[in-house]
Structure 1
Amino acid sequence: MLLKEFVELGHYKFAEEAASWEDAVRMSCETLEADGTVEADYKEEIIECIRKYGPYIIIMPNVAMPHSQEGAKGVHKTAIGFMKLNKPVSFEPGDVEKDARLFFTLASCNPEQHLVNMTRLSELLMNEGAVEALLSANSPEDLIKIQSDYLDS
């Protein structure tokens, strides 16, 4: 029920493009900031980590999972935010494998709940049809439809 949850919690955003990967990370945190799940400085912490360790958040072509280290400051709830860009943003110029359009931004302060979220997210990402459909989703209604078409058994 992950996609449905994004809609119910307002943790989704659809945008045309991001000016840079840093911008994309900031945008991907907006819906989590809006309801107090994370504080405004969380996104800068993620950006610092990527600058330091490289684009570790790209988990497969087109898919980024922005997150900071465990026990990051400024995280008040355990949740995932979803963002889709129409145009890919590059995390490593010249390497299209490091482009992203789908962002699943992780916030964790409860390890058990986080594990449940990660399990649900990996089930979603292993479903090729669902990932493909997400790349052309443009509305919360689309998310609900993808949930029922691909994920509700």
Structure 2
Amino acid sequence: MLREFVKLGHYKFAKEAADWEEAVRMSCEALESDGTVEANYKEDIIRCIKKYGPYIIIMPNVAMPHSQECARGVHKTAIGFMRLNNPVSFSPGEEDKEAKLFFTLASCNSEQHLQNMTKLSELLMNEGAVEALMLAETPEDLLKIQEDYLD
């Protein structure tokens, strides 16, 4: 999975984001750059979070920004990865609602999306890989994590 992020250019490393909204926008940039999603997709995600709360926080320090399947402006099924040096809070004062790692989902093919979710689940169940991702700074780091923990 990490190898695929590097191959497709679906990754971003950043120091910080001003707030969770900026972080969500930043997490969509790599998917926008190759036409996987259109610019409206990030705003759709932000609207959903404002409406339903921080449902995208799936475990401490890990967010999975997404909107509904077959959302408007989604042209390919993919996952984008972003790591921030400094976490953003989705609910001030609640440490368990902070995120440094973002796995942004785009889906227009349910079978491929299910395969992506399975790979992502396997990745997130590997504590060593998640800890290494928290420190990753380059695409080479992603490839090394893939080799060390997932192959």
Q: TM-score, normalised by structure 1?
A: 0.98
Q: For residues 9-58 of structure 1, give each alpha carbon's deviation from its aligned partner in whole angstroms, at most 9, with x where no partner exists.
A: 00000000000100000000000000000000000000000000000000
Q: For residues 78-108 of structure 1, give each alpha carbon's deviation from its aligned partner in whole angstroms, at most 9, with x where no partner exists.
A: 0000000000000000000000000000000
Question: Is 1:27 aligned with 2:26?
Answer: yes
| Aligned length in residues | 151
Specify the SS of the correspondent of 1:31: helix
Contact preservation (8 Å) 2:69, 2:106: no
Percent of aligned pairs with the same amino acid:
79
Equivalent residue, structure 2, for 1:119: 118
Decide which moves more: 68-77 or 125-134. 68-77
Letter in 2 for 1:38: V
After TM superposition, the runs of 4+ consecutive aligned structure 1 residues lying more than 6 A away are none
Equivalent residue, structure 1, for 2:15: 16
Shift of 1:70: 1.8
Q: TM-score, normalised by structure 2?
A: 1.00
Equivalent residue, structure 2, for 1:39: 38
Q: For residues 63-84 of structure 1, give each alpha carbon's deviation from its aligned partner in whole angstroms, at most 9, with x where no partner exists.
A: 0000001221000000000000
Equivalent residue, structure 1, for 2:101: 102
User: Structure 2 CA distance, aligned partners of 1:37 and 1:136?
Assistant: 27
Contact preservation (8 Å) 2:60, 2:96: yes
Alpha-carbon RMSD: 0.3
Specify the SS of the correspondent of 2:68: coil
- Gapped regions of structure 1 (runs ≥ 5): none
- Gapped regions of structure 2 (runs ≥ 5): none
Alignment of 1:1-153 (within 5 A): 2-152=1-151
User: Structure 2 CA distance, aligned partners of 1:88 and 1:118?
Assistant: 23
User: Structure 1 CA distance, aligned partners of 2:31 and 2:135?
Assistant: 23
User: Structure 2 CA distance, aligned partners of 1:71 and 1:34?
Assistant: 19
User: Structure 1 CA distance, aligned partners of 2:131 and 2:63?
Assistant: 15
Specify the SS of the correspondent of 1:42: helix
Specify the SS of the correspondent of 1:19: coil
Specify the SS of the correspondent of 1:92: coil
